[in-house]
Amino acid sequence: MTVTSAAPSAFLLKAVNDSKGIIEGYASLYNMEDSEADMIAPGAFDASLAQWNRSGRQPPLLWQHDPTQPIGLWQLLKTDKTGLFVRGQLFVGEVARAAEAYALLKRGALSGLSIGYRPEVSRRDGKRGVRILERLKLYEISLVTFPALEAARVSAVKARMGDDGLLSALRSLQDAIRRAMPVSTQR
C-alpha cells in the first residue's frame, strides 16, 4: 500500500507572505503650510476620493512621484479631522524597488509621503501669504525622501501576521498537515 499526501490547495500560506510591507500614515494634513506655501483645507479631497471610489480603483502608490515606478497599492484612503490617512501594501516580493523602499522604511531612512494633485479650487490668503487648496484632483501618492509637507509621514511599517517566528511556525504546521493527510491510496 502506497500513501501520498498533500495539503488541500485551499490551505496555503501565501497570504502570510503577501502581508509583508503594510504601511500607513498621513499623506496630507489639513491647515498646515508646506514648503510650496500651499495649505490644504478640510474637505479638499472629498470630491476626488468619491471619484476614485466610483471608478473602483485607488490612486497609485509610486516611488518618488515617478509614474514609471509603481511599488504597491493603496488599500485604504480616508479623511478625518487631521487630513488624508492612507494604508497600503508594498509589493515587496514582486517589485525590487518596493523591497528597497520597505527596507529603508523599516530602518527609518525613508518615511515621507507626498501627494500628486492638480488644484481645482483655490484662493490666495494674502495675510498669511499662502495658497489655500479647497478642492483638488488627487492623481497619486508617493513614498518620498523629502515631502513638501514635513509632517506627511509613514507612521507604521508592518507585516500583518507578525514576525518571521510566526511565519516559520505556520510553515511547519503546513508541512505537518501535508505529511498527515492521505490524498490517494494505491493497493
Q: Are 124 and 31 in contact (CB under 8 A)?
A: no
Catalytic one of 24, 122, 140, 142: 140
Catalytic status, residue 55 = no
Catalytic-labelled residue, pool 33, 65, 100, 134: 65
Q: Is 114 a catalytic residue?
A: yes
User: Quick check: 35 and 148 in contact, CB under 8 A?
Assistant: yes
Alpha helices in 4-91 (DSSP H): 14-18, 46-55
In angstroms, the CA 118 to CA 66 distance is 16
Please count the other Cβ atoms lying within 10 Å of the Cβ belonging to residue 6: 13
Q: What angle do CA 18, 22, 24 make, to 5 degrees?
A: 160
Side chain identity, residue 185: T
Q: Alpha helices, DSSP H only, in the chain?
A: 14-18, 46-55, 96-107, 164-180
Alpha helices, H only, 43-137 = 46-55, 96-107
The active-site residue, picked from 28, 111, 114, 122, is: 114
**Whether residue 19 lies in the annotated active site:** no
Active site amino acids: 65, 114, 140
